[in-house]
Amino acid sequence: MVPLYSQAGNARSEVLSDSLRTPQTQNLLANLKKMPEQGFMFGHHDDPLYGIGWDGDENRSDVKSVCGDYPAVMSFDLGHIELGGDKSLDNVPFNRIRKEIIAQYNRGGMSALSWHLDNPATGKDAWDVSDTTVVASIVSGGLNHEKFLGWLDAVAAFINSLQTESGVKVPVLFRPWHEHTGSWFWWGEKGCTPEQYKALWRMTYNRLQERNVHNVLYAYSPGSGYATCAEYLEKYPGDDIIDLLGFDCYQFDREQYIQQMDKALTILEQVGRAHNKPIAITETGFETIPDSVWWTQTLLPVISRYPISYVLVWRNARERKNHYYAPYPGQVSATDFVRFYKMPQTLFVKDLKHLYD
């Protein structure tokens, strides 16, 4: 039996979060923890929605076009769902995202959700950091609190709507408030104190609970710049809320990237052990992948030293030139990606068995 400690923020392993969680969601968490025994899952953001030279086709994916299989993890973004419209900030219909999440579940894979939501105080986008009082204005007692609860309700309604034809609620990993250690989002470094950031998380979690969202796991995902476990945990909302620990880290300079990844993963492995949580590289990549052997000579060597559950690369934008992180047919790293795909430890969707049972 798992003892239940309901105290917020304590760092021991037996803290059980959402006790009403669906069996499939509980199983997903257990399987994420065990995943490193088998290998790590490969993920790609917006994988089946669009790619280089195509947009909105059915049953298409740049990753699949290169290696013959879908990524084990697909992530999608809920930005603009808070506005009540039909399309995301990247111009994708939410109905299409829902359909792809269900399709990914039916083929045995996993989906994750990020949220580049607008600034609720200024009405501008997620990158508007002109006002440092936004978080204070949406937590309990703040001027925009009620409005913001409505925004969380829109997220809750979407996650609740993820159901298969037979009525199974599809589990997803929700990763809001990411890269909060950077200075580019309104919930970032200067946007809130540790207490306010934790309150933001707790409010998010509580509202989804109140709206009966029990098919969700939660990921904590700062930037990779931390130097100690304590720094990683500076704004950590607590073991009773968070299910998976990750970080985001991109390559600009190869040597620096390898060093940064090694350091970030060394610490993350320790924190994951101490808190009994699965760990993952929640975003990474090398924009345009100009290195023809990047997958097997840079990414693989560094990540295979650590017990990660998944690694995810960012999107292949069709509307922004030179903004892609996965290969497409003919791309310079495509052959190397196939080598990466064939390694026994890299898991794609066909390698997964029973992620939900």
Restricted to residues 181-220, the positions that interact with ligand BMA (CB under 6 A) are none
In angstroms, rounded to a whole number, what is the distance separating the alpha carbons of residues 121 and 124? Answer: 8
Pair type for strands 172-174 and 40-45: unpaired
In angstroms, rounded to a whole number, what is the distance separating the alpha carbons of residues 330 and 156? Answer: 40
| 90 forms part of the interface with ligand BMA (CB under 6 A) | yes
- In the list 44, 198, 315, 318, the residue contacting ligand BMA (rule: CB under 6 A) is 315
- In the list 35, 73, 74, 89, the residue contacting ligand BMA (rule: CB under 6 A) is 89
Nearer to ligand BMA, 79 or 142 (CB): 79
| 87 forms part of the interface with ligand BMA (CB under 6 A) | no
In angstroms, rounded to a whole number, what is the distance separating the alpha carbons of residues 321 and 115? Answer: 23
| Minimum distance of ligand BMA from residue 118's CB (angstroms) | 12
Nearer to ligand BMA, 269 or 287 (CB): 287
Nearer to ligand BMA, 117 or 244 (CB): 117
Pair type for strands 73-77 and 346-347: unpaired
Give me the sign of the Cα torsion angle 263, 269, 272, 273: negative
Tokens matching residue 199: 């309150």
- In the list 47, 62, 77, 179, the residue contacting ligand BMA (rule: CB under 6 A) is 77
Tokens matching residue 214: 């029990």
Residue 24: enclosing H or E segment and its boundaries?
Answer: helix 23-34
Closest CA to 347 of 143, 98, 8, 67: 67
Nearer to ligand BMA, 77 or 118 (CB): 77
Q: Are the C-beta atoms of residues 282 and 175 closer than 8 Å to each other?
A: yes
In angstroms, rounded to a whole number, what is the distance separating the alpha carbons of residues 69 and 62? Answer: 10
What residue type is assigned to position 65 of the chain?
S
| Minimum distance of ligand BMA from residue 126's CB (angstroms) | 8
Nearer to ligand BMA, 89 or 200 (CB): 89
Binding-residue total with ligand BMA (CB under 6 A): 7
| Minimum distance of ligand BMA from residue 183's CB (angstroms) | 15
Nearer to ligand BMA, 142 or 223 (CB): 223
| 82 forms part of the interface with ligand BMA (CB under 6 A) | no
258: exposed, middle or buried (Cβ count in 10 Å: 0-12, 13-18, 19+): middle
Give me the sign of the Cα torsion angle 9, 15, 18, 24: positive
Nearer to ligand BMA, 107 or 320 (CB): 320
| Minimum distance of ligand BMA from residue 130's CB (angstroms) | 19
Nearer to ligand BMA, 182 or 307 (CB): 182
Q: Please give the biggest Cα pair distance in the chain.
A: 55
| Minimum distance of ligand BMA from residue 323's CB (angstroms) | 6
Restricted to residues 115-134, the positions that interact with ligand BMA (CB under 6 A) are 116
Strand runs labelled E in 4-120: 40-45, 50-51, 54-55, 73-77, 110-114
Q: Which residues bind ligand BMA (CB under 6 A)?
A: 77, 79, 89-90, 116, 315, 320
